[in-house]
Amino acid sequence: MAIPSAPKVIKWPFFVADFILVVVGSAIAWSVKWPPTPLLILAMVACFISGAVILVYPFLREHAGAVKLWEQVNLAEAAQQLDQLVTVANRVVAAAQEWEGFQSNTQKLQQQSGQLVDRMAGEAKAFSEFLQRTDLQEKQALRFELEKVRRQEAEMLQVLVHLLDHVHALRQAGERSGQPQLAQQLANFRSACLETARRVGLLAFESEPGSRFDPHSHQTVDGREPSEGAIIGSTVACGYSFQGQPVRRILVTLQESANETARNELSAHDSEASGDKGALSLGT
């Protein structure tokens, strides 16, 4: 803000009065006889001092006016600044009130958010428990169905083994009947049955007469363990494997006396008729 200039004081009257006093004092000094009297000296000093005061007075008045004007201008600026400070203070108070309201709203929002989080956590826990119960029920149902399928598979396998055993016994009966055509037809029938069983993973295998007895692949009719190096006489019932897992070893007779062999075959046929086909197991 520009400071206005103070009004100027007219100085020429003061200059004239100062000139007159200086002339009077000089005239007194030139007209007196020396040494002058004290009264004359006092008059000369008074003239010169008065002239000096009159000469300086207008400048002092201008300076005093400029100082007052400057003080007034600064006072106005200070008042404006005070008004601005009051405005700023009011704005600060309003901002503080808004901040308090914002903090209050924030606290309420935090409380609501906490309640929402707790509710979501409870719902998530309940949903997780529901999924666990559902998963457990599904597992139990699947386990039950798997056990049911395995039982059905074991029963089906047992039925197939029994049927194939009867077919094998029928073929042997045809071979012993002395009728080649009948024996061939029964052999073809057995081959068709074995091929059908092979499609579901059930394989039948038998041993050639005269081969060595292997305890891992063979078993005797009476269940006795023969001596090492025993020779197989004939195959009473085939051995089976299901999908690569052994089901039953081959049921064979050993080369012994003719009477004991006939007795073993008779006991084997009796056991087939009663349904006892040996140990039947399926690896799970």
Share of the chain above pLDDT 70, in %: 86
Kindly report the number of other CB atoms within 10 A of residue 197's CB atom: 20
Taking CA 272 as the corner, what is the angle to CA 227 and CA 184, rounded to the nearest 5 degrees? Answer: 95
Residue 53 pLDDT level (bands cut at 50, 70, 90): confident
Q: What is the mean pLDDT of residues 57-61?
A: 82
Whether 239 and 205 have beta carbons less than 8 Å apart is answered as: yes
Q: What is the pTM of this model?
A: 0.42
Q: What is the mean pLDDT of residues 186-202?
A: 86
Q: Answer whether residue 278 shows pLDDT above 70.
A: no
What letter represents residue 250's amino acid?
I
| Structure confidence at residue 89 (pLDDT) | 86
**Out of 28-37, 73-82, 134-143, least confident range:** 28-37
Structure tokens at 266: 């008779």
HSE value, Cβ hemisphere, 13 Å, CA-based, for 138: 6
Residue 259 pLDDT level (bands cut at 50, 70, 90): very low
Residues 6+ apart with CB under 8 A from 246: 239, 240, 281, 283
Q: Answer whether residue 62 shows pLDDT above 60.
A: yes
Average pLDDT for the chain: 79
238/259: higher pLDDT: 238
Give, to the nearest 10 degrees, the angle between helix 38-176 and helix 12-31. Answer: 140
| Structure confidence at residue 279 (pLDDT) | 36
151/33: higher pLDDT: 151
Kindly report whether the peptide bond that precedes residue 58 is cis, defined as omega within 30 degrees of 0.
Answer: no
Share of the chain above pLDDT 90, in %: 0
Least Cα distance to 122 among 110, 114, 134 occurs for: 114
Q: What is the mean pLDDT of residues 136-140?
A: 89
| Structure confidence at residue 34 (pLDDT) | 66
| Structure confidence at residue 270 (pLDDT) | 53
| Structure confidence at residue 276 (pLDDT) | 41
Extract the runs of DSSP E, i.e. beta strands, from the chain: 202-205, 218-220, 232-237, 239-242, 245-248, 250-254
Q: Answer whether residue 102 shows pLDDT above 60.
A: yes
DSSP summary character for residue 222:
S
268/24: higher pLDDT: 24
Cα–Cα distance between 58 and 234 in angstroms, integer? 159
